[in-house]
Amino acid sequence: MNRFSIWRLLPFAVLIIFTAPLLIVLSTLFGSYSENWFHLYEFVLADYIISSLILVIGVSILVLFLGTVTAWTVTTYNFKGKKVFEWALILPLAIPPYILAYTFTGLFDPFGDANNFIRSVFNLKDSTIIFPNVRNIYGAIVVFAFTLYPYVYLVSRSAFINQSKSMQEAARLLGLNQLEVFYKLALPLIRPAAIGGMMLVIMETLSDFGAVDHFAIQTFTTGIFRTWYGLYDLQTAMQLASLLLLTVGIFYFIERSSRGDGIYTSNNSTFSPNEEVNLTGLKALTAFLVCFIPIFIGFLLPIVELSLWAYEVNLGFFNNKFLENSINTLSLSFLTGLICAALALLINFSIRYKPSILVGRFSALLSIGYAVPGLILAVGMVQLLVYLDNLAFSGFDIVLTGSLLGLVLAYVIKTYALANSSIESGYERISYSLDDSSKLLGSTSWNMLGNIHIPLLKTSILTSVLLVMSDVVKELPATLILRPFNFETLAVSTYIYASEERMIQAAAPAIAIVLIGLIPIVLLSKMIRSSRPIENRE
Amino acid sequence: MKKIQLILLLSFFGHVIMSNEVNVYTSRHYDSDDLLYKEFTQETGIKVNIISGKGSALLQRLKSEGSNSPADIFFTVDAGNLWKVQKEGLFQSIQSDLVLSSVPENLRGPNDEWTAIAKRARVIFYNPENVSEEMIKDIDYEDLSNPEWRNKIVVRSSSNMYNQSLVASLISNLGEEQTESWANKLVSNFARKPQGNDRSQIIAVANGEADLAIANSYYIGIMLSGSAGEEQLVAAKKVKMAFPNQKNRGTHINISGAGVLKSAPNQKNANRFLEFLISKKVQKTMVDKSYEYPILESIRPSDEIASFGTDFKEDQISVKSFGELNPSAVRLMDRSGWK
């Protein structure tokens, strides 16, 4: 065995470059602590922690419920609309949480459109307020859950599809009814997948600033920015961000180790797919509503409200500049998607090929980048780029800082977790015996990767590119300080308007984000439609 | 196609130096400003390159970039950030007689590090149906803590920099202790948990959810213009604007301002850009579009804004106080439970 195998070195080299900005953020923990810590500790830190906790717990429960129940419904039952729901259930991924938050307040505020509408229909007094106030932590839980549940839905669905019929038949024979099969057997079996999806949701919830800021909830993230912008204390803000990161890191490790050494790859030869149960009448209606409500709240409602807003102002937004911004957005997200997928593939392969605890740990660090608020990550990135510039190009002007390269790097770190989760779960389905056979037959590592793994992982790779793309399209506040001069994306325009709550003006670019975000989503949906094992078993 | 590829490639590796340009880091993002920049290019042939973002984030990038920074101009809507750049010593003195002769001294940095470009006032909005002229006449910020306004005041979150500047100005004028007791009482006068932006406060007052709203002056201009939709136009017509502290120190104002950076590669163009911004023509377009107050006395604010009165007394507190006292203001609001 060659100790200096490329599969040991490569992931390290890549990881060091890619984790550097995270390490720069974390390194503030070893710096000095300002007296603002006393203030934070005494007056606000407890609030930050408690609301973040409530938010995470609430979102997790709701997301788990929405994601698994919808996935179970479309995989086990046959009812009207099911074929559409199967792919439409991921559409809310195209809606950034902050945009749903804005449309929620636009609709449900005491004088929002929904309240006004009901009042005018039923001729009620102005003082009658029908819908509950959404500008609170419960509103935020709903917003995050209905935009992020597709992460759990996606993994749960493919896990349910891969569950064998024989197992469920045995359960039915032992006297479990359909519901019991769901929560006693099917659900526990997809635990690793569902929790993996939930980790993504938790990290995205924790790093969000737009939605919680809009609802005026004091979470850890709003605290980070308040400390930076208001107390003028970036050091303390980065220390707070580091604590957030470490917390997520701990969760991540617990989740990893709770999977234990159990290997979830299955031998496909005895696999036989489940037969779907036909539903009619009330049961079919229930199934329909179970799937329709998440899509309605997470996708249709914001689209309708945004369209109404956009209609109210001129549509002059859709011009040449819009085209340019769209191309910028698409190419940036595509590039990030490719790099993330390639990186995730290489790292997961090397972990499998040459298991190393160190690389495993390091790659976990990469995944927690998803939990860093984009702007904080960008600050670490600027420092890294300036350092590299001074190192390599001293005497020249700034080369890397304010380059697209820095921007892409930042987004790779931010979204790597998405690519990794997809490729990792793809790898979990490839039996280790395949690797062993190919090693026995003398194939090289590159051979194994190129000829065996990549063809088997085709769907996972594509999924990871598309997931990353859909995320980069909608979430770009870091772009604001990393971008080159005059480089605009759609999210930049939306973010700028939205951060000043000029939602009516933000509506047009927001719709554009959703439309462009729909491209990867629709491709994903297409894959979902054709991913039924019954129709195309290879 | 080839050309596009080349440009893409070049932009991938950073900023391409071109001879006749000015590089602006700005936290103002108004569409109307973009049009002005285009006009500047047409007039002078100098290309305007823009990076916009939050003031604090841009300042951080500026600091990291150090003497290699390509930035010529730092343009911000927040006096506190202006002071921070000044304190870091990142500005050079403005080298333009035109700017120095037209902008009043109190609207420039102590050593001409920056100049104000436009002003905004933080005022009180009320609905005349619910609040009598008697009650609102001669109102001071200090009066907002009086028990007569219990559960009747709306204002946005204390994370907002305009609230932070207002409280900083009160600390500067009244001292920390008195301001804190004021803030404690103000919080118990809130009609609801602070939420939404300045405009949702104005709408709340228009709809009778509260009696008084603290908000920036220009928002009413945007609402009245109709560009923000019918609902806001209707709401805006119901409310009136009161300028606090007219009998004493004057109403709290904040500024948009800009300065030339020490490391500016295009120093001449930068000064020309500032001259352009304070020219009469641009000032007029700017205040007509953004509904701010002009810094030149010869210019009249937009009709929407002028209808509420133009000759009000302004608090002359220095930008230095904003910057220095901002962290104290935030801590004070945390202690008082102003969410």
Kindly report, residue by residue over B77-115, the tens digit of the pLDDT: 878 889 989 999 999 999 999 999 999 888 898 899 999
Q: A313, B60: Cβ pair inside 8 Å?
A: no
B63 shares contact with chain A (CB less than 8 Å): no
A261 falls in which pLDDT band (50, 70, 90)?
Answer: very low
Size of interface A-B (CB pairs under 8 A): 157
Q: In chain B, whose CA is at the least distance from the CA of A483?
A: B51
Cβ partners under 8 Å of residue A470, min gap 6: A93, A94, A333, A517, A520, A521, A524
The answer to whether the CB of A463 falls within 8 A of the CB of A427 is: no
| pLDDT digits 0-9 by tens, A368-412 | 888 888 878 888 888 888 888 777 765 555 667 778 888 898 899
A497 falls in which pLDDT band (50, 70, 90)?
Answer: confident
Does the structure show a pLDDT above 50 at A537? no
Looking at residue A274, its pLDDT comes to 63
Q: B23, A485: Cβ pair inside 8 Å?
A: yes
Largest CA distance in chain A: 81
Provide the mean pLDDT of chain A. 83
Looking at residue B272, its pLDDT comes to 96
Chain B residue numbers touching A313 (CB-CB < 8 A): 227, 229
Domains within chain B, CATH numbers bracketed: 2-119+253-303 (3.40.190.10), 121-252+313-336 (3.40.190.10)
**Whole-angstrom distance, CA of residue B159 vs CA of residue B339:** 8
Most B-contacting residue of A117, A232, A315, A321 (CB-CB within 10 A), to test interface: A232
Looking at residue A269, its pLDDT comes to 45
Beta partners for A319?
none
- Pairing between β-strand B21-26 and β-strand B47-52 as defined by DSSP bridges: parallel
Tell me the mean pLDDT in the region A362-373. 80
H or E element that contains B121: strand B114-126
Q: A402, B64: Cβ pair inside 8 Å?
A: no
Q: Which of the pair, A23 or A371, is modelled with greater confidence?
A: A23
Chain B residue numbers touching A230 (CB-CB < 8 A): 158-159, 161, 164, 326-327, 329-330
**Whole-angstrom distance, CA of residue A171 vs CA of residue B208:** 61
Lowest mean pLDDT among A222-236, A440-454, B59-73, B276-290: A440-454
Q: What is the residue whose two structure tokens read 């939404």?
A: B196
Q: Which of the pair, B38 or A110, is modelled with greater confidence?
A: B38
Does the structure show a pLDDT above 50 at B14? no
Q: In chain B, whose CA is at the least distance from the CA of A312?
A: B229
Largest CA distance in chain B: 71
Domains within chain A, CATH numbers bracketed: 6-23+31-261+273-311+318-529 (1.10.3720.10)
Does the structure show a pLDDT above 50 at A152? yes
| E runs forming strands in A269-428 | 277-278
Query: Residues of B numbered 15-54 whose beta carbons fall under 8 angstroms of chain A's beta carbons: which are they?
Result: 15, 17, 23, 29, 31, 49-54
Most A-contacting residue of B11, B129, B326 (CB-CB within 10 A), to test interface: B11
Q: Which of the pair, B29 or A210, is modelled with greater confidence?
A: A210
| pLDDT digits 0-9 by tens, A78-103 | 998 888 999 899 999 989 898 899 89
The answer to whether the CB of A32 falls within 8 A of the CB of A235 is: yes
Tell me the mean pLDDT in the region A145-161. 90
Does the structure show a pLDDT above 80 at A500? no
Looking at residue A346, its pLDDT comes to 87
Looking at residue B335, its pLDDT comes to 95
Task: Name which of A110, A486, A500 is nearest B49 (Cβ-Cβ).
Answer: A486
Beta partners for B50?
B24
**Concatenated DSSP letters for B187-251?**
HHTBSSS--S-HHHHHHHHHTTS-SEEEEEHHHHHHHHHTTT-HHHHHHHHH-EEE-TTTTTT-B
Among A254-263, A470-479, B48-57, name the most confident range.
Answer: B48-57
The whole-angstrom distance between residue B159's C-alpha and the CA centroid of its chain comes to: 15
Question: Which one, of A68, A518, A49, A232, lies nearest residue B60 by Cα?
Answer: A232
Tell me the mean pLDDT in the region B236-265. 94
**Whole-angstrom distance, CA of residue B1 vs CA of residue B12:** 17
H or E element that contains B253: strand B253-261
Does the structure show a pLDDT above 90 at A329? no
**Whole-angstrom distance, CA of residue A211 vs CA of residue A224:** 15
pTM for the whole thing? 0.89
CA of B80: how far to CAs of A230, A284, B120, B313, in Å? 9, 60, 14, 22
A340 falls in which pLDDT band (50, 70, 90)?
Answer: very high
Question: Which one, of A329, A325, A297, A266, lies nearest residue A519 by Cα?
Answer: A329
CB atoms within 10 A of CB A68: 27
Positive or negative CA dihedral for B173, B177, B178, B184?
positive
Lowest mean pLDDT among A352-361, B213-222, B226-235: A352-361
Does the structure show a pLDDT above 60 at A531? yes
Looking at residue B169, its pLDDT comes to 94
Does the structure show a pLDDT above 70 at A211? yes
Looking at residue A336, its pLDDT comes to 94
Looking at residue A534, its pLDDT comes to 45
Q: B334, A44: Cβ pair inside 8 Å?
A: yes
**Whole-angstrom distance, CA of residue A11 vs CA of residue A17:** 10
**Whole-angstrom distance, CA of residue B94 vs CA of residue B76:** 16
Lowest mean pLDDT among A41-50, A389-398, B67-76: A389-398
Tell me the mean pLDDT in the region A269-292. 80
Overall residue count recorded for chain A in this entry? 538
Provide the mean pLDDT of chain B. 89
Looking at residue A535, its pLDDT comes to 41
CA of B256: how far to CAs of A331, B112, B214, B286, B299, in Å? 35, 15, 19, 12, 16
Q: In chain B, whose CA is at the least distance from the CA of A228?
A: B56
Q: What is the residue whose two structure tokens read 């295009």?
A: B266
Does the structure show a pLDDT above 80 at A321? no
Does the structure show a pLDDT above 80 at A270? no
The answer to whether the CB of A242 falls within 8 A of the CB of A29 is: yes
Looking at residue B111, its pLDDT comes to 92
